[in-house]
Amino acid sequence: MLYMVIVPIVPDYLARLESESEQAHVKGNFSTNITQNENFDLQIGVLFASKAILQLIVNPLTGTFIDRIGYDIPLLIGLSIMFVSTCIFAFAENYATLFVARSLQGLGSAFADTSGIAMIADKFTEEAERSRALGIALAFISFGSLAAPPFGGVLYEFAGKRVPFFVLACICLADGILCMTVLKPFSSRTRENMPVGTPIYKLMIDPYIAVVAGALTTCNIPLAFLEPTIANWMEETMDSSQWEIGLTWLPAFFPHILGVYITVKLAAQYPHLQWFYGALGMVIIGASSCIVPACKNFEQLIIPLCGICFGIALVDTALLPTLAFLVDVRHVSVYGSVYAIADISYCVAYALGPIVAGKIVHDLGFVQLNLGMGLANVLYAPALLFLRNVCLMKPSHSERNMLLEEGATGLYDTIRMEERQRKKHGYSSSGNCVPIDENGTFAGQSKSLSEEET
């Protein structure tokens, strides 16, 4: 909710601060006012994007940190940072303080978002249970994102700027207390026995993970680019009221929940079609994006926006569990880095949206923006065919090999590991050369020296 609650609050609040400063000085000419308006729009875009930009920079580090220390302590760190960020938002009275608060929010999200999703993937190992649990998490993420603008707008209008941030700070504090009570992050634990996760740079060059990351970025571009531009377009083309603009995205929450529910049910019955659900979602997103400029009133606009959120639900619910499965079968089952990559994918879209979208609308037009976003999603959908055989993959032996390479802990383990190394080099336990196949098993029979002497 903190990500979207500032949308109806901060622009109006900064505009009031700007008008107060203008009243204290002599007003410039008309051209100066136009330049000030353009600078103001740029400032708003940079402020909104600063969260995603910092999150994008920090995520590779937080992913590695989560892999090494576990999921609960980073989750608590993220909640603590977001609590501080929310309090700063409440008391901020200038642009610089708001920028610091927004950037801190990105730092906290880099810890909390990644560790929370990774913890779910780690606790639920069965694919059906994992899809259901991640679907529930996505549903609450959607609710927070879509309900936050009307929530913030109403409280800002009738109770002032600080109240919505105080409410969110209390929610964040309560969540942190629950984390301390339920997860007990500082209790005694065996962190030294945790497997070492695959480095994030190796995960990034995995072609299957790269395809999923590209799909997550592409499918979120319409939402990220429409959020900062659709309000002005509605005012210019539909003469929409402020309450209509504030409620633009709220109806889309229900098809998003429907998309999560449908995908979870289908994935339980037909898990081998996860790639198809994601591709279908991208086609729906592309078609809906192209329809948006053709809408003439608020009621018509709701339909394609619901289609976009329904498609995003299909893509996210199908592909986020796929990331965990790919790590299970191709790497080590530690999920911090792979979900940091997923978070990076989202951040790419939301870092570009507030800055680039307005420029595209100004230079090319709102219609061209939507057609480009729709075409990008439709063209990317066939790339998910690359994932069609993922369900046939067998678990890798990387974890077993990693444990063997760490060193033996007892006499029996030492003997077994020495025997394994001899077989790998083609020697028997007695020192004779024996033929072995590529799997390390004996391909022929040979008598040992002791047997010949006998």
Q: Rounded to the nearest 5°, which phi and psi values hold at 357?
A: -60, -45
Q: Rounded to the nearest 5°, which phi and psi values hold at 336?
A: -60, -50
Residue 300 three-state SS: helix
C-beta neighbour count of 55 within 10 angstroms: 27
Q: What integer pLDDT is reported at residue 403 of this predicted model?
A: 43
Q: Is the Cβ–Cβ distance between 315 and 259 less than 8 Å?
A: no
Q: pTM for the full model?
A: 0.80
Q: Is the Cβ–Cβ distance between 397 and 420 less than 8 Å?
A: no
Q: Which two tokens stand for residue 241?
A: 């009221």
- The full DSSP string for 314-334 is HHHHHHHHHHHHHHHHHS-S-
Distances (CA, A) of 420 to 405, 409, 416, 425: 11, 16, 6, 9
Q: Is the Cβ–Cβ distance between 274 and 322 less than 8 Å?
A: yes
Q: Which segments of 205-273 does DSSP mark as H helices, in order?
A: 207-226, 230-237, 242-246, 253-269
Q: How many helices (H) and strands (E) does the chain have?
A: 19, 0
Q: Which two tokens stand for residue 355?
A: 């800055």
Q: Is the Cβ–Cβ distance between 260 and 139 less than 8 Å?
A: yes
Per-residue pLDDT in tens (0 to 9) along the chain, 454 residues: 777 888 778 877 888 877 776 665 555 554 445 555 567 777 888 888 899 999 999 999 999 999 888 888 999 999 999 999 999 999 988 889 999 999 999 999 999 999 999 999 888 888 888 888 998 898 888 888 878 888 888 888 888 889 999 999 999 999 999 988 888 777 655 455 567 778 899 999 999 999 999 999 999 999 999 988 888 888 888 887 767 777 788 888 899 999 999 999 999 899 889 999 999 999 999 999 999 999 988 889 999 999 999 999 999 999 999 999 999 888 888 899 999 999 999 999 999 988 888 889 888 999 999 999 999 999 999 999 999 988 877 665 444 444 444 444 444 444 455 555 555 555 444 444 444 444 444 444 444 444 444 4
Q: What integer pLDDT is reported at residue 35 of this predicted model?
A: 53
Q: What integer pLDDT is reported at residue 188 of this predicted model?
A: 52
Q: What integer pLDDT is reported at residue 246 of this predicted model?
A: 72
The residue to which tokens 């000030």 are assigned: 36
Cα–Cα distance, 392 to 369 (Å, whole number): 39
Q: Is the Cβ–Cβ distance between 375 and 286 less than 8 Å?
A: yes
Measured in whole angstroms, the distance separating CA 55 from the mean position of its chain's CA atoms is 10
Cβ neighbours for 107, distance < 8 A, ≥ 6 positions apart:
54, 55, 58, 81
Domains of the chain: 2-392 (1.20.1250.20), 407-453 (no CATH)
C-beta neighbour count of 292 within 10 angstroms: 25
Q: Which two tokens stand for residue 327?
A: 């790590």
